[in-house]
Structure 1
Amino acid sequence: MMINMKNPVTNQVKQCKVGFSWTTFFWGFWPAVFRGDWKWFAIILITDLVLGVWSFGIGSGFINLIFAFIYNKLYINDLISSGWQPADTASRDILISRGFITPSNTAL
């Protein structure tokens, strides 16, 4: 499920996926790089390296599986905390139904 997020200051719009992140599952930290999400890039990379080195890569695969379930939620929460808002009513309704925002704390 895709949503559109808009920065009210710059009017920049980003399209974000809600739910499981297949790209993070298969490619680990690379989706964070392409999104410009440097905080989670560093966290995923360091975790992959630390757990992957001593487990011959098995730990890295396990970490990618965990982050695949939570990365999109973390990314959307970071956008919301940075002031981004839903760009349309459909995106707003999805964010409300998934518990990201409450009906009273956002305006279109």
Structure 2
Amino acid sequence: MAQAVRIKNKTSGMIKNGYVGYSWTYLFFGWFVPLFRGEIGIAILHFIVSFLTCGLWQIIFSFLYNKQYMTRMLGQEGWELADSEELNALARQKLKIIDPAS
């Protein structure tokens, strides 16, 4: 089950929900998930691959999507984890991010 973790852009102040763990949403809605999250290029790529694999891609990628989305967001300039320390630690563990405090 996915766990919601807030992420914040330091420069703009924008706050979004990111998720770690299995994505039931991606399993059921597939390429619509990146489309609704504003990743149009990723959505097009996922649509093509889902079409070519007759939907098998959705089953496999539902295990990977949330991690890759969070990695893309946190890799962009200014985005950082902005939730409780417990949830931030969980996200760091799942995403294999080294804790900045250590």
2:81 partner amino acid? P
CA drift at 1:67: 1.1
Q: What is the alpha-carbon root mean square deviation over aligned residues?
A: 1.6
For normalisation by structure 1, the TM-score amounts to: 0.80
Map 1:3-42 to 2 at 5 A. 3-42=5-44
Mark the structure with the bigger radius of gyration: 1
Q: Deviations over 1:28-87 (max 9, x none)?
A: 1011111002232122111012222xxxxxxx1x11011100000110000011031011
- Could you say which residue in structure 2 is the equivalent of 1:92? 88
State the distance in 1 between where 2:40 and 2:74 align: 16
More strand by share: 2
* Deviant stretches of 4+, over 6 Å: none
2:44 partner amino acid? A
- CA distance 1:48–1:99, shift in 2 (3 Å): closer
State the distance in 2 between where 1:85 and 1:36 align: 18
* Aligned counterpart in structure 1 of residue 65 of structure 2, from 38, 50, 71: 71
State the distance in 1 between where 2:95 and 2:63 align: 16
Unaligned runs of 5+ in 2: none
More helix by share: 1
